[in-house]
């Protein structure tokens, strides 16, 4: 499921932001984008995030947003200054040049100052980074849970439609058997006017046909799968149910397909098509469920 979380991370005297963004994926894939110098933090961050998130394509980015990758400071190049002073004194003594060396004179020289940067690994505390990652993960999970609730509501509505269609199939099923029985009896009655027909044989054929077309077992199993769906949707948000919902959708698809193959009735076939459409939409949604 999609989600976003962010938290601030101290970087020396400034702050950077740690952002987590997730999109749908059947498996967990972590993509960490950390500045050079923080390679040692990748392992602990992966472990922390994967302990709370089990599915999704998650991008983890540490953004400095104007904060330097490492704090810098200006230092005097003492060796360079000493060399220059020594050189000026040598000129005065050797060539008899009078005068004092002052800041104005030194300022005309180059390489008097050096800029030194504090290594980033010294500025970002791993423990603080993990605390920030935990806060960002909590925000991401909260957002995903809100989306999960919306998905659950949608799935329940589709389950209700399938359940209604199963009831219609159950109501229609005996009618089609009665209709077929009457058709066979009419055909036999017409046939007996020309040839002799074994009544017992006709009764057995009707019984075999009734058994072949019976949808009782499929209806029971389909309703059982719907009940299991409802139970999983009511499970605590901390429990990952996506894979089990996917399995149930496959089993429900199998029962609906069997009902369709046994239908021999246009109205039942129409109900089967509607159930398949709802189930296909459910399976697409289930791909987003952790």
Instruction: Report d(CA 78, CA 85) in Å as an integer.
Output: 11
- Which tokens go with 273? 């098509």
Q: Verify that 186 and 277 share a domain, yes or no.
A: yes
- Beta-carbon contacts of 28 under 8 Å, excluding residues fewer than 6 positions away, are 50, 53, 54, 55, 56, 58
* Domain boundaries, position 9: 3-68+125-140
Q: Verify that 88 and 194 share a domain, yes or no.
A: no
Q: Verify that 45 and 156 share a domain, yes or no.
A: no
Domain with residue 59: its CATH number is 3.30.230.10
Q: Verify that 149 and 279 share a domain, yes or no.
A: yes
Q: Verify that 221 and 274 share a domain, yes or no.
A: yes
Contact 142, 272 (CB under 8 A): no
What's the chain's length in residues?
290
**The pLDDT of residue 6:** 93
Mean pLDDT of successive 10-residue stretches along the chain, which has 290 residues: 87 84 85 88 93 88 66 76 87 83 84 73 83 94 86 92 93 77 68 60 66 81 93 77 87 93 86 94 81
Q: Verify that 43 and 104 share a domain, yes or no.
A: no
Contact 218, 165 (CB under 8 A): no
Q: Verify that 30 and 56 share a domain, yes or no.
A: yes
**The pLDDT of residue 103:** 86
User: How far separated are the first and last CA of the chain, in Å rounded?
Assistant: 7
Q: Verify that 9 and 30 share a domain, yes or no.
A: yes
**The pLDDT of residue 109:** 86
**The pLDDT of residue 81:** 85
Contact 214, 258 (CB under 8 A): no
**The pLDDT of residue 210:** 61
**The pLDDT of residue 74:** 77
Q: Verify that 130 and 216 share a domain, yes or no.
A: no
Q: Verify that 42 and 76 share a domain, yes or no.
A: no
Q: Verify that 45 and 163 share a domain, yes or no.
A: no
DSSP letters spanning 23-74: E--SSEEEEEE--TT-GGGHHHHHHHHHTT--SEEEEEEEE-TT--SS-EEE
Contact 231, 281 (CB under 8 A): no
**The pLDDT of residue 233:** 87
Number of domains within the chain:
3
- Which tokens go with 230? 């409802």
Q: Verify that 63 and 87 share a domain, yes or no.
A: no
């Amino acid at each position: 499921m999609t989600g976003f979380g962010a938290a601030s991370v101290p970087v020396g005297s400034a702050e950077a932001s740690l952002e987590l963004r997730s999109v749908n994926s059947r498996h967990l894939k972590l993509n960490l984008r950390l500045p050079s110098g923080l390679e040692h933090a990748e392992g602990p961050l992966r472990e922390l995030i994967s302990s709370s998130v089990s599915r999704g394509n998650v991008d983890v980015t540490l953004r400095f947003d104007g904060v330097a990758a490492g704090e810098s400071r200006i230092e005097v190049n003492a060796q360079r200054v000493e060399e220059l002073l020594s050189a000026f004194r040598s000129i005065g003594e050797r060539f008899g040049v009078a005068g004092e060396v002052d800041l104005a004179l030194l300022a005309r020289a180059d390489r008097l100052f050096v800029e030194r940067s504090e290594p980033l690994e010294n500025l970002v505390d791993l423990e603080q980074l993990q605390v920030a990652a935990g806060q960002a993960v909590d925000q991401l999970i909260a957002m995903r849970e809100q989306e999960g609730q919306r998905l659950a509501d949608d799935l329940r509505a589709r389950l209700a439609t399938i359940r209604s269609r199963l009831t219609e199939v159950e109501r229609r099923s005996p009618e089609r058997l009665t209709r077929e029985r009457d058709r066979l009896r009419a055909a036999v009655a017409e046939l007996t006017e020309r040839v002799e027909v074994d009544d017992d044989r006709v009764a057995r054929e009707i019984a075999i046909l009734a058994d072949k077309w019976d949808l009782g077992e499929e209806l029971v199993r389909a309703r059982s799968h719907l009940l299991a769906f409802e139970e999983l949707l009511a499970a605590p948000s901390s429990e990952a149910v996506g894979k089990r919902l996917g399995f149930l959708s496959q089993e429900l698809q199998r029962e609906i397909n069997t009902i369709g193959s046994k239908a021999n009735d246009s109205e039942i076939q129409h109900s089967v098509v509607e159930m398949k459409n709802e189930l296909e939409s459910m399976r697409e949604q289930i791909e987003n469920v952790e």
